[in-house]
A = this chain, B = another copy of it.
Amino acid sequence: MALATLVHPTGYHVASWLHPQAQADASTSIEYYQRVAQTAERGLFDLFFIADTPAARTSNLTAFSRMPLFMNVFEPVTLLSALSGATRHIGLGGTASTSFSEPYNIARQFASLDHLSHGRAAWNVVTSANDFAAKNFGLDRLPAHGDRYARAREFVQVVRQLWDSWEDDAFIRDRAQGLFFDPAKQHAVAHEGAHFRVNGALNIARPPQGRPVIIQAGASDTGRELAAETAEVVFASESTIEDGIGFYRDLKGRMPRHGRDPDQLKVLAGLPVLVAASRQEAEDMHAELQALIHPDVGRSRLAMDLEADLSGLDLDQPIPEERIPKSANFHQAYFNHIVQMIRVEKLTLRQLYLRYERGNKTIRGTAREVADQMQAWFEAGACDGFMLMFNLLPRDMEAFVDLVVPELQRRGLMRSLYEGRTLRENLGLIRPPHPRAAG
C-alpha cells in the first residue's frame, strides 16, 4: 500500500503548536522540516506532502492568532527544493493553485524540482478555497466553483504539454557536430484557450519522470471528473469504509471514459492516526490536545468550513438551522459533513467542534489496531494507500514509523526498502511516454 503524509509544521491538530513538545519556530525552520522528512523517509513513505494556500487571513485575527494555520509558512516549491538535498528516495509533493499562477511558471518550477530531486516531484492541483487568496491577486472574491475548475482543467492541459516541450532524448550534447540539442525534438506548445494563450517551449529538458506526478483532492462532482481525467494520486476524505469504497469505485469508474486505466490513479485515504503502546495511552494523548482547543478556535474553524457566521451562538446549544447556508462554494465535503453532524447527530456547537476533524476519522490505538484498520480499508477496496496525518510532529510520525511500519511489513503490506528510483516507480505509476516518441 502507498503511504503519503501531509505535513503541517507542528502537526495536523489545530492545537498542536500549544503542546509542550512542539517546536516553537517549526513553521520556518528548515532544520526541523529536514528532520521530519528524514523520519518519513526512514518509514519508507512514498510521499512527503505540503498543503498550501497563497494567503494569510487579515480579518478575525484574534481567533486566527490561536490557530495559526498557513499564517507563517514556507512556500511549498522552495521548501521542497531545499528538502530534495536532505532526502534521497521520498517523493516531494506540493500544492500550487491554478487560480493564481501561470501555467508556464508552474510547469517550469515542478519540472525543475523533478530534475533537482532526480524524479521525485508531485504537484497537487488545487483551485484554492478562500477569498483572502483572491484579494492578493487583483480579485475581490474567489471565482465560482465551476469557473475555477474550468480554468484548472485548461491549466493542467497546458502544463502537461509544456512538460512535453522536448522529447526525452532531445538534448544530445553532440560536441563533434556542435549540436546541444536536436532541433527536430522540440515540440513547442501552441495553445489558444478560454483562459490561456501559451505559444512556446519550456526551457528545461523533459523531467526524469516524464511528467511530475499529478495529485488532486477535489471531492465535488467537477473535482472528481477532473481527477478522473488527469490525476495520478487522489487524496480522499471519506470517514467510513463503505463511503471509501463508494468514492473509490466512483472515481475509478470515471476513468475509462477518459481513456485511462484505473490502476494509473492511486486513491489515498486521508488518515489522521495516533499510535501508542496502549489504546488508553493513545486516547489520553488525543484528549490532551483536544483540551488545548480554545473555544474561539473551535467556532472559527467550523464557521470557515460551514461558510457561516457562528458568532454570538451559545457553545452548548446546536447551531440554529437558519445559520446554515444553502450550499457550499469552498470545500463541499467538509460542508456536507458538518451539516450532517448538526442535523442528524444534533450536536451542540462545542460537541461539534470537538468531534469535527474535516471529514476524517482519527484512528487511535496500538500498532496492531492501527494496522488492522488500515488493512481492512485496503483489502476492502476502499483505497490504494493512505495520506497520513499526525496530531503532533515529529512525535507521532516517529511512533508510527517505529511501531506501525514494522507491523505492516510483517503483514506483507509494505515494502522493506525503496525499490523504485522515482516517485512514479515507487507508486507503481507508468512513466508517460512522450506523445511524439516513436513506438
In the complex, the answer to whether A104 meets B54 with C-beta atoms within 8 Å is: yes
Q: In the complex, A182 Cα to B55 Cα: how many Å? A: 18
Q: Which residues of B contact A180 (CB under 8 A)?
A: 17, 65-68, 71-72
Tell me if A197 is interfacial: C-beta within 8 Å of chain B.
Answer: yes
Q: In the complex, A435 Cα to B137 Cα: how many Å? A: 24
Known A-B contacts A74-B112, A112-B74, A138-B198; the reply to A58 vs B132 at CB < 8 A is: no
Name A356-395 residues within 8 Å CB distance of B.
Answer: none
Beta-carbon contacts of A182-207 to B below 8 Å, as 1s and 0s? 11001010000000111111111100
Q: Which residues of B contact A294 (CB under 8 A)?
A: 178
Cβ of A216 to closest chain B Cβ, rounded Å: 21
In the complex, the answer to whether B58 meets A115 with C-beta atoms within 8 Å is: no
Known A-B contacts A30-B84, A102-B101, A200-B56; the reply to A77 vs B109 at CB < 8 A is: yes
Q: In the complex, A94 Cα to B100 Cα: how many Å? A: 22
Q: Which residues of B contact A62 (CB under 8 A)?
A: 183
In the complex, the answer to whether B115 meets A74 with C-beta atoms within 8 Å is: yes
Q: How many copies does the complex hold?
A: 2
Quick one: which of B58, B137, B182 contacts A102, CB cutoff 8 A?
A: B137
In the complex, the answer to whether B81 meets A135 with C-beta atoms within 8 Å is: no
CB closest chain-B residue, reference A52: B203
Q: In the complex, A165 Cα to B136 Cα: how many Å? A: 12
CB closest chain-B residue, reference A184: B61
Beta-carbon contacts of A60-103 to B below 8 Å, as 1s and 0s? 01101111101111110111011011100000000000001110
Q: In the complex, A438 Cα to B214 Cα: how many Å? A: 47
Q: Which residues of B contact A78 (CB under 8 A)?
A: 77-78, 81, 109, 112-113, 116
Cβ of A200 to closest chain B Cβ, rounded Å: 4
Known A-B contacts A58-B188, A135-B199; the reply to A115 vs B30 at CB < 8 A is: yes
Tell me if A25 is interfacial: C-beta within 8 Å of chain B.
Answer: yes
In the complex, the answer to whether B173 meets A75 with C-beta atoms within 8 Å is: no
Known A-B contacts A188-B58, A204-B75; the reply to A138 vs B196 at CB < 8 A is: yes
Quick one: which of B30, B171, B173, B175 contacts A85, CB cutoff 8 A?
A: B30
Tell me if A105 is interfacial: C-beta within 8 Å of chain B.
Answer: yes
Tell me if A315 is interfacial: C-beta within 8 Å of chain B.
Answer: no
CB closest chain-B residue, reference A186: B61
In the complex, the answer to whether B113 meets A55 with C-beta atoms within 8 Å is: no
Tell me if A150 is interfacial: C-beta within 8 Å of chain B.
Answer: no
Tell me if A28 is interfacial: C-beta within 8 Å of chain B.
Answer: yes
Quick one: which of B55, B58, B181 contacts A68, CB cutoff 8 A?
A: B181
Cβ of A421 to closest chain B Cβ, rounded Å: 15
Tell me if A287 is interfacial: C-beta within 8 Å of chain B.
Answer: no
Tell me if A179 is interfacial: C-beta within 8 Å of chain B.
Answer: yes
What 9 pairs across the A-B complex have the smallest Cβ distances?
Answer: A81-B81, A68-B180, A61-B183, A56-B203, A75-B112, A136-B200, A78-B112, A78-B81, A135-B199
Give 28 A-B contacts (CB < 8 Å), ordered by A residue.
Answer: A17-B175, A28-B115, A30-B84, A54-B104, A55-B200, A55-B201, A56-B165, A56-B186, A58-B199, A58-B201, A61-B183, A62-B183, A64-B183, A65-B181, A66-B179, A67-B180, A72-B166, A72-B171, A73-B204, A74-B112, A75-B111, A75-B112, A77-B81, A81-B82, A82-B82, A82-B116, A100-B102, A136-B198
Besides A30-B84, A54-B104, 20 more A-B contacts (Cβ < 8 Å) are: A18-B175, A18-B178, A20-B175, A24-B173, A54-B105, A54-B203, A55-B200, A58-B199, A62-B183, A65-B182, A67-B180, A71-B203, A75-B108, A75-B111, A77-B81, A77-B109, A81-B82, A82-B116, A100-B104, A139-B197
